[in-house]
Amino acid sequence: MAQAATATPSREDFASMLEESFVTGNLQEGSVIKGIVVGLEKDVAVIDVGLKTEGRVQLREFTGPGRGKDLKIGDEVEVYLERVENALGEAVLSRDKARREESWGKLETAFKNNEKVTGTIFNQVKGGFTVDLDGAVAFLPRSQVDIRPIRDVTPLMNAPQAFQILKMDRRRGNIVVSRRTVLEETRAEQRQELVQNLEEGQVIDGVVKNITDYGAFVDLGGIDGLLHVTDIAWRRVNHPTEVLNIGQSVKVKIIKINHETHRISLGMKQLLDDPWQGIEAKYPVGTRFKGRVTNITDYGAFVELEPGIEGLIHVSEMSWTKKNVHPGKIVSTSQEVEVQILEVDPVKRRISLGLKQTMRNPWEVFVEKYPPGSIVEGEVKNKTEFGLFLGLDGDVDGMVHLSDLDWKRPGEQVIEEYKKGDKVKATVLDVDVEKERISLGIKQLGGSDPMAEGSPGGDMKKGDVVTCEVMDVKEAGLDVKVAGTDLDAFIRRADLARDRGDQRTDRFQVGQKVDARVTQFDRKTRKISVSIKALEMAEEKEAIAQYGSSDSGATLGDILGTALKQRSGDKEKAEE
């Protein structure tokens, strides 16, 4: 009994404690007051809040996540007074509400001062979790649990942890907290401390943590650095996985540190000798080397000459003849090719290579095989307004200009007789190797130029009188051929006679021979014009000058008659 008396407070102690509580207590409804535990029943605690007023509170309200303390008779507790007296004459009390009121006050202060609070994750709900903040229940969104998404949060449940209040609304009773913010802040502090211990140029060991298309993240012992794909090796690395694996230990050099963002740039190739040192002496311009095609683009192909040294064959330097072809149709990846060094720029780390320079110029080869005057055969590749293009031996093209299609007919007319794919023979007229041009002629196959000097009719000049044979009678005039030559001409209707009444084409017949005067003979434009009218007018002028004028009394008919008789007599003598 003595021991029991020692363990349990006496009635005098209760009386003094209650007296103190009565003096200092406040039995105002809707407020938090202090009370004394005076009894413990099966699942409730009897609490005296003063003025001989007692209330009952469920024991479960005194326990919960993070609160494992056993309640004893005599303990002083704070409770929320909802009503001073109910129908049974007891005070209506709540420990949960008391704790909530107390917690809200502390939480509002922490939120205002941006301070962290301690809480316990005790349940999972839609979109996140519920957290007990010493009586106040807060919502923890799933995205705010950790820095990285985690699948299993069981280890975090029912364990006191630090949180940051993101938002709170007392009227609605809403509180949103974040664990991620606390972790990020802690991590930032750790990163800052780690970064301060690192220096640019320092060589450090690390472990490949993650690999992306553009590089690899290396763990340097609590802080990550980026090893860009271009800094892995001096040679071209298309993807980091060609060299690195996750979990691989690597030695890297710190290239750059950004102390504001805590970003660290790393390099592996910087630990090796730079292959570009002395590059000009190693690869003189004009020399040839063999290399392997590593990458093909729209503008050319990259060729690896040695590990870490690549040059570019521009599309314009890939082929002599294939001008508008994608580089992938000329070379393929991993193909070994022979190239010529065109230019070396050690500052920009660029080497220009040529592929076509390792092959003979096809125009040089062509002119050696087919010098001017040779006859070649080719396929019509294209027709343009100025001529025909023929595909020739050696994958080169030659052009037949309109003026070189036919001696007699206009080129615009003759070209219509040709179509793509036709096999055509032509004469090589000229080869310009530098300009990569081959001039061809088709009309030259049919003989020499009938208008050339020294040829029959080639020495003809303006004013000459010629005899023409009528080849065709048309409404607009006569198609004629100059006798003794291969020259064709056309006599217009207006040039058929001096007198308008005689300018009729029905006066002439095919095969008839007529004399006419040459009014135009142009070798350059290849134009010949003859006129009977011009001849008659010239003869009239000559007759008047020789046999007198009409003023002397002789008529024009008399003068012309005399002249014609004279001309006829001269002609008969010539025939004799």
List pLDDT tens digits, range 127-159: 899 988 877 788 999 888 888 877 788 888 888
Q: What share of the chain is helix, strand, coil (3-state, %, to 5)?
A: 25, 40, 35
* pLDDT tens for each residue of 156-209: 888 888 999 998 887 777 889 999 988 888 777 777 777 777 888 889 998 998
Q: What is the mean pLDDT of residues 317-335?
A: 91
Residue 420 has pLDDT above 60, yes or no: yes
Instruction: Quickly state the pLDDT bin for 31 (edges 50, 70, 90).
Output: low
Instruction: Quickly state the pLDDT bin for 7 (edges 50, 70, 90).
Output: very low
- Map residue 514 onto helix, strand or coil: strand
Which residue blocks in 284-434 are alpha helix, DSSP H?
362-369, 411-414
Q: Which residue has the higher pLDDT, 5 or 521?
A: 521
Helix (H) and strand (E) counts for the chain? 9, 30
Opening angle at CA 115, ends 111 and 119, nearest 5: 85
Which is it for strands 309-314 and 350-354: parallel, antiparallel or unpaired? Answer: parallel
Opening angle at CA 549, ends 545 and 554, nearest 5: 130
Distance between CA 79 and CA 91 in Å, rounded? 11
Residue 484 has pLDDT above 50, yes or no: yes
pLDDT attached to residue 112 = 86
Between the ranges 29-43, 236-250, 434-448, where is the mean pLDDT highest? 236-250
Single-letter amino acid, residue 108: E
Percent of the chain with pLDDT over 70: 79
Q: What is the mean pLDDT of residues 319-325?
A: 87
Residue 573 has pLDDT above 80, yes or no: no
Q: What is the mean pLDDT of residues 417-433?
A: 91
> Nearest to residue 294, comparing CAs of 285, 302, 286, 306?
302
Q: Which residue has the higher pLDDT, 42 or 572?
A: 42
Distance between CA 182 and CA 214 in Å, rounded? 30
Listed in sequence order, the residues at least 6 apart from 287 whose beta carbon sits closer than 8 Å to its beta carbon are: 340, 341
* pLDDT tens for each residue of 56-99: 767 766 765 545 457 777 777 766 676 666 655 566 665 666 66
pLDDT attached to residue 80 = 65
Least confident of 102-111, 443-452, 562-571: 562-571
Instruction: Quickly state the pLDDT bin for 4 (edges 50, 70, 90).
Output: very low
pLDDT attached to residue 303 = 95
Dig out the tokens for 5 from the structure.
């008396």
Least confident of 61-70, 209-218, 491-500: 61-70
Instruction: Quickly state the pLDDT bin for 499 (edges 50, 70, 90).
Output: confident
pTM (predicted TM-score): 0.47
Least confident of 66-70, 77-81, 280-284, 369-373: 66-70
CA torsion through residues 18, 23, 25, 26, sign = positive
Dig out the tokens for 117 from the structure.
């609070």
pLDDT attached to residue 101 = 66
Q: What is the mean pLDDT of residues 445-468?
A: 73
Instruction: Quickly state the pLDDT bin for 462 (edges 50, 70, 90).
Output: confident
pLDDT attached to residue 5 = 39
Percent of the chain with pLDDT over 90: 30
pLDDT attached to residue 574 = 45
Q: Which residue has the higher pLDDT, 105 or 328?
A: 328
What is the per-residue burial (b if ≥16 Cβ within 10 Å, else e) of 453-471?
eeeebbebeeeeebebebe
Q: How many residues make up the chain in this entry?
A: 576
Q: Which residue has the higher pLDDT, 106 or 203?
A: 203
Q: What is the mean pLDDT of residues 526-533?
A: 85
Between the ranges 28-37, 113-122, 329-338, where is the mean pLDDT highest? 329-338
Q: Which residue has the higher pLDDT, 213 or 84?
A: 213
* pLDDT tens for each residue of 381-396: 999 988 999 999 888 9
pLDDT attached to residue 422 = 92
For residue 371, the tally of other CB atoms under 10 A from its CB is: 10
User: Mean pLDDT across the chain, nearest whole number?
Assistant: 81
Q: What is the mean pLDDT of residues 408-423?
A: 86
* pLDDT tens for each residue of 217-229: 998 877 888 999 9
Residue 266 has pLDDT above 90, yes or no: yes
pLDDT attached to residue 448 = 62
